Amino acid sequence: MTETPFPTSFLWGSATAAFQIEGAHDQDGRTPSIWDTFARVPGAVLDGDTGDVACDHYHRVEEDVDLMASLNLDAYRFSTSWARVRPDGGEPNQRGVDFYARLVDTLLDRGITPWVTLYHWDLPQVLEDAGGWTNRDTAHRFADYALTLHDALGDRVPYWTTLNEPWCSAFLGYTGGQHAPGRQEGVAGLVAAHHLMLGHGLVVDELRRRGVDGREGGQVGITLNLTVPEPFDPTEPADVSASHRVEHLFNRVFLDPILRGSYAEEIHELTEGLCWRGHPWQSAIRDGDLALIGAPIDVLGVNYYHGDAASGRPHRDADLLGSRIRHPSRETTSPYPGGEAITFPRRGLPVTGLDWEVQPEGLTDLLVALNDDYDLPAVYVTENGAAYPDVVADDGTVDDPERLAFVAGHLRAVHAAIEKGVDVRGYFVWSLLDNFEWAYGYDQRFGIVHVDYETQQRTPKSSALWYSRVAAEGIL
């Protein structure tokens, strides 16, 4: 295949999340997050797995950063634990702050750029007990937490992401119940989504005041998981309608407020009459909110794993019962408030271990459509990867040709988007390590590095060795 060179400044990285890898769930002052609590609910996580130990990264920072350096990573995108930095949502915990300071210093010593994500779903349980993201005050507590980390790391961290995939936090957490805190309260997801974005806006505003200016002072942005929805059957009006609902209540419910400072009129039409605790959900939107939320950002992170074939009809065909929004072992509801929209793998496409179809051209389509529809800041693909049932050979090696092909195909899709004028400046493969995969526990492996959870031994898979070469040469 013809060699594909990327721009010399293109950033090659990998990504993780605190709850998924750190472990040390009750050490050095850390208190429970909503995921500690949710993982202990019967049926919430496959096999009753918890994140108590995970990859034990908390005790293995030096080893793991050395591993990153050996893989020629330019950058490492990691999240910080709110429950570690401000336990119970209260005062700063110096031991928790010191952990991240040590991680950042170790990365810099190895020539790896640290990229901080402030929130990857692990709200302190005490704040959830007070209403969580349906409580407006949580957005202000989020800003307090963010500034604690900026106080400690602002002189050394050039990239700050406020939220990772707020759609999951809001709609899987508060509407459908597939994720922590497991609430199935319909319209609550819309209220939570608005407060999440308000928290984002408050942090952007504060960091700007502190000199995060998009240049030498650092850059700030947000990461959204986005999809390419299509009707499962374009001739069925219910499927066309469901595709429209997914586009707006998955993509545009966040894109428009953040990039345009307003909710699309279609959002109000789709949610007309929906109330939260006796009031229209829009009562959560106060004067000045959208100005904060829509303030310019420096970076838009795009997470992409698959497109969506949407349907608004009940299906009896067993081949269609692979909805990607279902919970693996617990009864849940649709995460789309106000009406059903079910997403299925497309027939005829290969799928990953999670029944997510492999559709790299969808990433090109998504990036080009974003570029056509919005005035974008710099774009980074901040997550992309696949779960497959890896096998450890007798000699200890792990050959994962399907994952390698998945990443290669999506990198070609990124390159195609660049050639079409999209300002994509980097790519982060998900994930560096096999880890605690949320509701799937340890059943699904996304890592380019295999983790033996009994011994915590790390073994780079063939995809990692290949990605290391690509990152070093900048050529696919």
Has residue 15 been placed in a domain? yes
Is residue 6 a part of any domain in this protein? no
Give Cβ neighbours of residue 289 (< 8 Å, ≥ 6 apart): 194, 198, 201
Reported as a pLDDT band with limits 50, 70 and 90, residue 427 is: very high
**Looking at the predicted structure, is the pLDDT value of residue 342 above 90?**
no
Rounded-to-5 percentages of helix, strand, coil across the chain? 40, 15, 45
Which pLDDT value is given to residue 320? Answer: 43
**What pLDDT, on the 0 to 100 scale, is given for residue 315?**
59
Q: Where is average pLDDT lowest: 56-60, 148-152, 338-342, 464-468? A: 338-342
3 lies in a domain? Answer: no
- The DSSP output letter for 266 is H
pLDDT interval class at 322 (50, 70, 90) = very low
pLDDT reported for residue 330: 86
Tell me: the pLDDT tens digits for 182-193? 999 999 999 999
Average pLDDT over residues 103-116: 98
Closest to 343 (Cα-Cα) out of 385, 295, 308: 308
Active-site entry in 128, 185, 230, 383:
383
Residue 269 token pair? 């039409």
Expressed as residue numbers, the domain containing 440 is: 11-473
4 within domain boundaries: no
Residue 310 covered by a domain: yes
Q: How many domains does the chain have?
A: 1
- Residue 372 tokens read as 């056509």
347, pLDDT greater than 80: no
pLDDT digits (tens, 9 = 90+) for 250-264: 999 999 999 999 999
Q: Is pLDDT larger for residue 24 or for residue 332?
A: 24
Asked about 165 being catalytic, the answer comes back as yes
- Give the H/E segment covering residue 113: strand 113-119
Q: What is the mean pLDDT of the chain?
A: 95
pLDDT band at 317 (very low <50, low <70, confident <90, very high): very low
pLDDT for position 255 = 98
Does residue 249 carry a pLDDT above 60? Answer: yes
Helix axis angle for 401-419 and 360-373, nearest 10°, is 30
Closest CA to 22 of 62, 58, 75: 58
Between residues 157 and 338, which one has the greater pLDDT? 157
Residue 66: predicted pLDDT: 98
Task: Tell me which of 226-235, 274-283, 333-342 is least confident.
Answer: 333-342
Helix (H, G, I), strand (E, B) or coil at 135: coil
Half-sphere exposure of 143 (CA within 13 A, CB side): 19
pLDDT band at residue 314 using 50, 70 and 90 as cut-offs: low
Taking the mean position of all CA atoms in its chain, how far away is CA 320? Answer: 26
Q: Which of 128, 191, 154 is nearest to 337 (CA)?
A: 191
Q: What is the pLDDT of residue 215?
A: 93
Residue 455 belongs to some domain of the structure:
yes
Q: Is residue 321 part of a domain?
A: yes
353-408 pLDDT per residue, tens: 998 999 999 999 999 999 999 999 999 999 999 999 999 999 999 999 999 999 99
* % of the chain residues with pLDDT over 90: 90
Residue 56 has a pLDDT of: 98
Say which DSSP state 232 is in: S
The answer to the question of residue 446 being in a domain is yes
List the end-to-end C-alpha distance of the chain, in Å, as a whole number.
9
Largest Cα separation within the chain, whole Å, is 63
Catalytic residue among 165, 247, 402, 437: 165
List the structure tokens of 236. Answer: 């069925």
Task: List the CATH number of the domain containing 401.
Answer: 3.20.20.80
